[in-house]
């Protein structure tokens, strides 16, 4: 088991150094959510969005989850490139732990997401967001769990398919309805009954609701706990599946 | 001295919804320690599948194998610790520096940080990569990239090295350099080399012994001279003649390079 930790550290270190040397990709990764915040956020300022908090407490958590959905769901692209270059196969012939091959990547993804989320929240504060520090930290924890879940699934899918042409349509077609039905941009409580009901079948909705409640300081009304439970369950199932694929698949 | 590789009845079957393909139908193979074995066969003969099984990338459907002293099925991790593998397409990230790739590879083989750094310098010196250590792998020429691939496979001083078509795409100079390096590994380190190639001249020049597979089975094996004598009628005949006599086909490479009469 100690090898898993050591190997995870080695793999994570490699990818962190690689990501840190590509500052431009870090910046562009956070650019779209920042544009949403700066160019879309002001439109909502005077609207009543049917939630406990103000528009920034509604929008920033939504954009955080959107950033997580997009960056994590497409994380598998890096594996496709590495498969093409023979890197995955080369690593699989070493004694490195199979679980570490997945966990190391997830550590890098989580750190990258944390850095981008931090920038997003700081820009949000400059735009007018006011939220309790504990709520912001709970939000980071929830999107971290969600990121681990989605990135695991994305890596598992990328290990199974052979080309970006197979990978991208699957991810895009799953991601778009997830974004629309999670109430990322506007709360689903504004939706007509049928849409609100439909969105309750999308697990990400509970995470969005939980982060919003955390940002308004409503920790005790159950939605934070429900969101955390959903995110944790997704992470456990997805990590299990991802590990299974990394152990078994012939890359 | 135990064999570096010993397989008995090794098979691999691929099943899809519509059909079943028996890629390897029972390979019996012994590779002695310190020898360079040329593993040849026409396209689709089962070379790559066998190589992938022996390097633990693909579990066999049936059969037994011992690789570098470890049971392939019961102890694949033990096998991985003792073998080096150079894939046909290499295995480095073009955006990462040569130093980063070599050091990380050492760390994956459980070398300490300082050992991995020392080994990186040592291998770079041996393989003429010192001046390139801080360049991104994508900036290397084909020959330099191949030397890096081999350096990566040697990080942990393996007893057995698998080379999958190592000279494909290299210019004649780089190819000659690589042949020299492979011979040096055998002569100076006593390393066993399992080499697949489509170039029959390469197999002829480098390998101590040849195994020719066809249709998922070992079709013939022996030294180059033995195969030529047995299948082409004379020890000084061309290996191509023996190969055609054994398999009824040219190698894919020879087919590609044979000019078409018009």
Q: Identify the closest residue of chain A to B52 by CA–CA distance.
A: A250
Angle (nearest 5°) at CA A35 between A30 and A37: 95
Distance of CA A95 to the CA centre of its chain: 30
- Mean pLDDT throughout A172-179? 88
> Domain ranges in chain A?
2-248
The verdict on B105 touching A (C-beta cutoff 8 Å) is yes
Judged by CB atoms closer than 8 Å, whether chains meet at B93 and A95 is answered as no
Token pair of A137, please? 């930290």
Would you tell me which residues 28-57 of chain B have a C-beta closer than 8 angstroms to some C-beta of chain A?
A: 52, 55-57
For residue A89, the chain B residues in CB contact (below 8 A) are 57, 87, 91
Q: Quick check: helix, strand or coil at residue A123? A: helix
CB-CB: which of B52, B58, B91 is closest to A90?
A: B91
Contact B39, B150 (CB under 8 A): no
We report the CATH number of the domain holding residue B204 as 3.40.50.300
B145, part of any domain: no
Complex-level ipTM: 0.86
A22 has a pLDDT exceeding 90:
no
Q: For chain A, say whether B96 makes contact (Cβ under 8 Å).
A: yes
| pLDDT for the residue B66 | 97
Q: Tens digits of per-residue pLDDT, B94-153?
A: 999 999 999 999 999 999 999 999 999 999 998 999 999 999 999 999 889 999 999 999
Q: CA–CA separation, B186 vs B188, rounded Å? A: 6
**Chain A residue closest in CA terms to B60:** A250
**Which tens digit of pLDDT belongs to each residue from A3-17?**
899 999 999 999 999
- Is the CB of A86 less than 8 angstroms away from the CB of B92? yes
pLDDT above 90 as % of chain A? 63
What is the mean predicted confidence (pLDDT) over A95-124? 93
DSSP secondary structure letters along B200-216: HHHHHHH-SEEEEEETT
Distance from CA of A145 to the nearest CA of B (A): 27
- For chains A and B, count residue pairs whose Cβ atoms are closer than 8 Å: 64
Residue B166 located in a structural domain:
yes
Q: Judged by CB atoms within 8 Å, which residues 60-99 of A form the interface with B?
A: 82, 85-87, 89-96
Confidence of residue A237 (pLDDT cuts 50, 70, 90): very high
Q: Do A85 and B56 touch (CB under 8 A)?
A: no
Whether residue B52 lies inside any domain: the answer is: yes
How far is Cα B72 from Cα B54, in angstroms, rounded to an integer?
A: 7
- How far CA A92 is from CA of A82, A109, A144, in Å, comes to 12, 20, 27
Q: Residues for chain B: how many in total?
A: 262
Query: Based on the number of CB atoms within 10 Å of its own CB, is B17 exposed (0-12), middle (13-18) or buried (19 or more)?
Result: exposed
pLDDT averaged over chain A? 89
Segments in chain B below pLDDT 70: 249-262
pLDDT score for A1: 61
Task: Specify burial of residue A201 (Cβ count, 10 A radius: 0-12, 13-18, 19+).
Answer: exposed
Counting the structural domains of chain B, the total is: 1
Q: Which pLDDT belongs to residue B249?
A: 66
Identify whether the C-beta of residue B217 lies closer than 8 Å to the C-beta of residue B47. Answer: no
Is residue B82 included in any domain, yes or no?
A: yes
**Percent of chain B topping pLDDT 90:** 73
Select from A215, A192, A207 the least CA-distant residue to A148. Answer: A207
Search chain B and give the residue with CA nearest A78: B93
- Please name the helix (run of DSSP H) or strand (run of DSSP E) that holds residue B115, with its range, or none: helix B113-126
The Cα–Cα gap between B151 and B102 comes to 8
Which residues are CB-contacts of A190 (< 8 A; sequence separation ≥ 6)? A49, A50
Give ∠ CA B86-B92-B94 in degrees, rounded to 5: 150
Report pLDDT for B250: 58
Residues of B in contact with A87 (CB under 8 A): 91-93
Tell me if B72 sits within 8 A of A57, measured CB to CB. no
At residue A29, the pLDDT reads 75
A18 contacts chain B (CB < 8 A): yes
The answer to whether residue B93 neighbours chain A at the CB level (below 8 Å) is yes
Question: In which domain, by residue range, is B230 found?
Answer: 5-91+159-255
Residue A229: predicted pLDDT? 96
């Amino acid at each position: 088991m100690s090898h898993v930790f050591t190997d995870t550290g080695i793999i994570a270190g490699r990818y962190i150094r690689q990501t840190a040397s590509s500052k431009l990709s870090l910046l562009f990764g956070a650019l779209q959510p920042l544009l949403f915040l700066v160019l879309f956020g002001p439109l909502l300022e005077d609207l009543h969005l049917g939630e406990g908090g103000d528009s920034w407490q509604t929008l920033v958590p939504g954009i955080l989850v959107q950033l997580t959905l997009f960056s994590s769901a497409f994380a598998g692209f890096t594996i496709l490139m590495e498969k093409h270059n023979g890197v995955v196969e080369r690593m699989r012939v070493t004694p490195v732990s199979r679980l570490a091959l997945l966990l190391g990547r997830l550590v890098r993804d989580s750190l990258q997401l944390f850095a981008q989320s931090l920038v997003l929240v700081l820009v949000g504060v400059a735009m007018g967001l006011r939220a309790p520090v504990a709520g912001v930290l709970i939000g980071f924890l929830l999107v971290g769990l969600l990121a681990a879940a989605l990135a695991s699934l994305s890596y598992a899918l990328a290990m199974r398919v052979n080309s970006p042409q197979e990978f991208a349509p699957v991810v895009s077609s799953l991601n778009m309805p997830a974004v629309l039905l999670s109430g990322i941009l506007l709360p689903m409580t504004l939706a007509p009954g049928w849409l609100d009901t439909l969105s309750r079948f999308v697990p990400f909705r509970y995470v969005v609701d939980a982060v919003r409640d955390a940002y308004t300081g409503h920790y005790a009304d159950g939605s934070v706990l429900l969101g955390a439970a959903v995110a944790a369950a997704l992470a456990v199932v997805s990590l299990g599946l991802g590990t299974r694929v990394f152990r078994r698949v012939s890359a | 001295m135990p064999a570096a590789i010993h397989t008995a009845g090794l098979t691999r079957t691929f099943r899809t919804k519509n059909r079943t393909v028996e890629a390897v139908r029972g390979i019996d193979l012994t590779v002695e320690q310190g020898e360079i074995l040329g593993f040849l066969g026409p396209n689709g003969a089962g070379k790559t599948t066998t190589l992938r099984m022996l390097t633990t990338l693909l579990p066999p459907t049936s059969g037994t194998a011992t690789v570098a002293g470890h049971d392939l099925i019961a102890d694949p991790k033990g096998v991985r610790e003792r073998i080096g593998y150079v894939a046909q397409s290499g295995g480095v990230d073009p955006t990462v520096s040569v130093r980063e790739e070599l050091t990380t590879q050492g760390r994956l083989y459980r070398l300490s940080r300082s050992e991995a750094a020392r080994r990186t310098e040592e291998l770079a010196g041996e393989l003429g990569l010192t001046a390139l250590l801080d360049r991104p792998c994508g900036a290397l020429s084909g020959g330099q990239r191949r030397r890096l691939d081999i350096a990566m496979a040697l990080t942990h001083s393996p007893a057995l090295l698998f080379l999958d078509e190592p000279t494909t795409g290299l210019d004649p100079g780089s190819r000659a350099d690589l042949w020299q390096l492979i011979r040096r590994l055998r002569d100076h380190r006593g390393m066993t080399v399992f080499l697949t190639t489509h170039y029959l001249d390469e197999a002829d020049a480098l390998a101590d012994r040849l195994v020719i597979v066809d249709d998922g089975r070992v079709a013939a094996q022996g030294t180059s001279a033995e195969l030529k004598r047995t299948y082409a009628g004379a020890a000084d005949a061309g290996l191509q003649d023996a190969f055609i006599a054994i398999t009824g086909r040219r190698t894919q490479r020879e087919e590609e390079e044979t000019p078409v009469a018009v």
